[in-house]
Copies of this chain bind each other. A is one copy, B any other.
Amino acid sequence: MRQKIGRSRPRNAFYAQSGGVSAVINASACGVIETVRKHKAVFGKLYAGRHGIIGALTEDLVDTGKESAAAIRALRHTPGGAFGSARYKLAGIDQNRAEYTRLIEVFKAHDIGYFFYNGGNDSMDTAHKVSEIGRILGYPLTCIGVPKTVDNDLPITDCCPGFGSAAKYVAVATREAALDVASMARTSTKVFVLEVMGRHAGWIAAAAGLAGSVAGDAPQVILFPEIAFQADKFLAKVKSSVERYGYCVVVVSEGVRDAGGKFLAEAGTKDAFGHAQLGGVGPLVAEMTRSALGYKFHWAVADYLQRSARHIASAVDVEQAYAVGRAAVEFAVAGKNAVLPVIVRKSEKPYRWTIGEAPLAAIANKEKKVPRNFISADGFGITAACRRYLSPLIGGEDHPPYRDGLPEYTRMRGIAVPRKLKKPFVI
């Protein structure tokens, strides 16, 4: 097909997933791929990076054109990262220019003119740097971010795709486990502790607060990273809850710190971004209630379950994840660059939202914590304002299809794009 006058020729596009995956990051992939397929005058092929940016650096590309429409549609209900993700942060351009020039080499070799990067704040930083290097090296590249993080800690956007489903999982699990411990408390378990994710921001922990509806309902205690942990106050709260209601449900964020700013439980290792790898604060605070108060306890650590539980995804979240994928492509078609789509809340009751736009530079490396007015005065619960904010985000169910009692998730064929560069790149 000949190009229309005034329209540049179609160029290939690159899409990659980055950082921790979620129950709906593939819904964003679905939005990107389906929308790219609708704009044949703008886009040639769409290549996905295998394992995120590493796929670009090592020229390990998947030809999404070889995936059927049905398989791409099924991404909408499949958790995890269908093309593989990576925790790999590009250094500053000054520190490791080789990585950036390599990226541009790969893009040039495959005629890639569009870079769609699906991730959180670290990843928006990467996308921003890539957009700059294209400019510096004189290689025309459109860079668009696709926001994603279960932590809900990106600034500007009202919420982050991935969060609503993790929030719904945690609220549902809390409500269900609370009914269990309430049944057992007379002769057995009095304290149940659920440890949830959220390294620096307590959004997921806050979502557990949705499980209850009247005073006294579980969770009676939420431990936020935003509130310095004080053992005496915590134990007093647990004690009063057990004495009043017979039991106590505690939801603790992995990121809880003491007054000195030290994580309560630190595994001692760091991930590729230099963050401490956490885990184990749940059993730690549970054991505190036994040693100080003599209560029998149980504890659960949700870990990956909370961010992969597509079976209990929020319908709102799935829709938003798809919408930011679609909007990212539409931004590119409209000639925008170095931006990402964000969620804008238009009204609370009824909940209405739309897609807005923000520069990558405004999102990169920034964190939005739970504001103090969303946390109750005693520091152990959520306020009505917080509930108004969170509640719509877990709205609606989007059950995946089931077969033989299990959700039927898709797998990509993952056909590799033939390499064009002779030089391998070692990570």
In the docked arrangement, what's the CA distance between A391 and B84, Å?
A: 29
Q: Which residue of B lies closest to A299 (CB)?
A: B303
Q: Which residue of B lies closest to A85 (CB)?
A: B183
Question: Does A92 count as interface, using CB distance less than 8 angstroms?
Answer: no
**What is the minimal beta-carbon distance from A87 to any residue of chain B, in angstroms?**
5
**What is the minimal beta-carbon distance from A354 to any residue of chain B, in angstroms?**
20
In the complex, the answer to whether B301 meets A409 with C-beta atoms within 8 Å is no
Given A80-B179, A280-B283, A404-B395, A187 and B308 contact (CB-CB distance below 8 Å): no
Question: Does A8 count as interface, using CB distance less than 8 angstroms?
Answer: no
In the docked arrangement, what's the CA distance between A179 and B408, Å?
A: 12
Question: Does A173 count as interface, using CB distance less than 8 angstroms?
Answer: yes
**Which stretch from A309-317, A327-335, A339-347 is at the chain B interface?**
A309-317
In the docked arrangement, what's the CA distance between A177 and B210, Å?
A: 24
In the complex, the answer to whether B409 meets A394 with C-beta atoms within 8 Å is no
In the complex, the answer to whether B406 meets A304 with C-beta atoms within 8 Å is no
In the complex, the answer to whether A188 meets B271 with C-beta atoms within 8 Å is yes
**What is the minimal beta-carbon distance from A71 to any residue of chain B, in angstroms?**
15
In the complex, the answer to whether B80 meets A183 with C-beta atoms within 8 Å is yes
In the docked arrangement, what's the CA distance between A21 and B299, Å?
A: 16
Contacts of A300 in B (CB 8 A): 300-305
Contacts of A210 in B (CB 8 A): 405-406
Interface string of A181-197 (1 = CB under 8 A from B): 11111111000101000
Which residues of A236-277 are within 8 A (CB) of B? 269, 271-272, 277
Q: Which residue of B lies closest to A283 (CB)?
A: B280
In the complex, the answer to whether A311 meets B312 with C-beta atoms within 8 Å is yes
**What is the minimal beta-carbon distance from A401 to any residue of chain B, in angstroms?**
10
In the docked arrangement, what's the CA distance between A84 and B185, Å?
A: 8
Contacts of A308 in B (CB 8 A): 176-177, 179-180
Contacts of A407 in B (CB 8 A): 172, 175-176
Given A51-B186, A180-B304, A406 and B88 contact (CB-CB distance below 8 Å): no
Partner of A173, one of B192, B296, B309, B402: B309
Given A300-B302, A303-B299, A314 and B186 contact (CB-CB distance below 8 Å): no
Contacts of A183 in B (CB 8 A): 17, 21, 80-82, 84-85
In the complex, the answer to whether A87 meets B188 with C-beta atoms within 8 Å is yes
Contacts of A360 in B (CB 8 A): none
Question: Does A79 count as interface, using CB distance less than 8 angstroms?
Answer: yes
In the complex, the answer to whether B172 meets A311 with C-beta atoms within 8 Å is yes
Contacts of A184 in B (CB 8 A): 20-21, 81, 85, 87
Interface string of A373-399 (1 = CB under 8 A from B): 000000000000000000100111101
In the complex, the answer to whether A172 meets B211 with C-beta atoms within 8 Å is no
Q: Which residue of B lies closest to A211 (CB)?
A: B406
Partner of A391, one of B20, B296, B405: B405
Contacts of A192 in B (CB 8 A): 304
Contacts of A402 in B (CB 8 A): 397
Question: Does A148 count as interface, using CB distance less than 8 angstroms?
Answer: no
Q: Which residue of B lies closest to A271 (CB)?
A: B188
**What is the minimal beta-carbon distance from A118 to any residue of chain B, in angstroms?**
12
**What is the minimal beta-carbon distance from A414 to any residue of chain B, in angstroms?**
12
Which of A81, A173, A183, A310 has the most chain B CB atoms closer than 10 A to its own CB?
Answer: A183
24 residue pairs bridging A and B, Cβ less than 8 Å apart: A17-B183, A80-B176, A80-B179, A80-B180, A86-B186, A86-B187, A175-B406, A175-B407, A176-B310, A176-B409, A177-B304, A180-B308, A181-B304, A210-B405, A210-B406, A277-B296, A279-B283, A279-B298, A282-B301, A300-B302, A302-B305, A391-B405, A394-B404, A397-B399
List 3 tightest A-B contacts by C-beta distance, closest first.
Answer: A80-B179, A81-B183, A394-B405
Known: A299-B301, A397-B405. 17 other contacts (CB 8 A): A21-B183, A80-B176, A82-B183, A84-B182, A85-B183, A87-B187, A171-B405, A176-B305, A176-B309, A176-B407, A176-B409, A187-B272, A271-B296, A279-B299, A300-B300, A312-B312, A391-B404
